[in-house]
Amino acid sequence: MITIKEIARLAGVSAKTAERALSGATKDKRRDARERADRVRQIAAAHGYRPSELALALRRGSTRSFGFLVDVLTDQFLAAAVETAMDEAWGRGYKISLQLARFDREQTAEAIETFLASGVEGIITSCAPDQLPGEIMESLARRNYPFFTLCGRSGWDFSSAAPDYTYALPQAVEHLAAKGHRKITLCLFAGKELDNLVTERLFLDSCAASGVVPDFRIHSEKKQAAQLADEKLPAVILYGKYSMRIYLDRCREKGFKSDVIGIYNEWTFAAAQPFDLCGIILEQAEPSVRGAVNQLLEELDGKPAAHLRYTAAFVPEEKMHFLKVADLANQLLFEQP
């Protein structure tokens, strides 16, 4: 492949001038400099020259990249989140590097170290806050390193996103109470303790306002959803598409039907459509992922960390068929033109 020195010779300029032209450093300079730069780029293109991304990053002092750490890619939500982050970053002149953690703290630590060694300028993760390695996170916090958790607030006060159930949860409780239920169970998943505390308080207040008995639970394993079904509870609000499938499968085995409200987002709701639910709480996934990318960019500009909350909506069963959501098993996230 042709070298920069050969390109410089053909363009009649110095090697340093050719390097600057190919890195974009001569943009908006005087006319003769722009003409030389154009000549260099035309010769480089004609010979199929591509500058080293690493070399460009070293010259400009920026890799213009973020890391995205997820546990798996076979989950539709996580796959959609990665693609959305790449789409948003690309539109802002950035790229996304990907690492998998597989729900393992050691792999999580290794992935973060790999990101840092590669020079990414910020990290987004969907891993639960209690999976993040404490020593590394404390070091990043002391450096004010741009870090964003999509699964709620962590103990290090990095930026985060979380659903806001302020309106949706009371409406869901009221909906079940209107069906005659005097006790309602809300079951969330472990790993998001700070946000779960906020949701628990809201749930208790909502039950008190509707005159029903609250039953708040935290599950640490999906199999606990089957145990929940064994209790034959009459009214349940349940988080997680995998937990919901396990719960309803066990209910069918037991020949029992309860009034159930699921918590989904626009990327996971399609998985709920075969289920007989009496409503859903619908979170906003895409805005939270795009917000994560833009928050990292703001932090690079010196802005402080922020805790972003996105309003969830309650949708009763009679309105669920009006929802326009992505069926990622049968369509692309971003349809091609």
Give the CA dihedral 159, 333, 275, 235, nearest 10 degrees: 20
Specify if 330 maps to a domain.
no
Model pLDDT, residue 56: 53
Query: Residue 242 corresponds to which amino acid?
Result: Y
Domain boundary among 15, 39, 60: 60
Q: What is the pLDDT of the chain when averaged over all its residues?
A: 89
Same domain, 157 and 176: no
Q: Which pTM was predicted? A: 0.81
Q: From edge to edge, which strands make up the β-sheet containing 307-311?
A: 95-100, 65-70, 123-125, 147-149, 159-164, 307-311
**CATH code of the domain containing 170:** 3.40.50.2300
Specify if 337 maps to a domain.
no
Walk along the chain (337 residues) in steps of 10 and give the mean pLDDT of each run.
81 82 62 82 81 55 87 92 96 94 96 94 94 94 95 89 96 98 95 91 98 96 93 95 93 94 92 85 96 96 95 94 72 67
Question: Residue 331 is encoded by which pair of tokens?
Answer: 């369509």
Number of domains in the chain: 3
Specify if 14 maps to a domain.
yes
Contacts of 8 (CB under 8 A, 6+ apart): 14, 15, 17, 18, 40
Domain boundary among 16, 40, 60: 60
Sign of the CA dihedral running 162, 163, 167, 168:
negative
Same domain, 37 and 81: no
Q: Specify burial of residue 302 (Cβ count, 10 A radius: 0-12, 13-18, 19+).
A: exposed
Specify if 335 maps to a domain.
no
Phi-psi region of 157 (alpha: psi -120 to 50; beta: other; left: phi over 0): left
Domain housing 74: 65-162+287-309
Q: How far is CA 119 from the centre of its chain?
A: 21
Cα–Cα distance, 252 to 310 (Å, whole number)? 34
Looking at the chain, the whole-number percentage of residues with pLDDT higher than 70 is: 91
* Eight-state DSSP code of residue 1: -
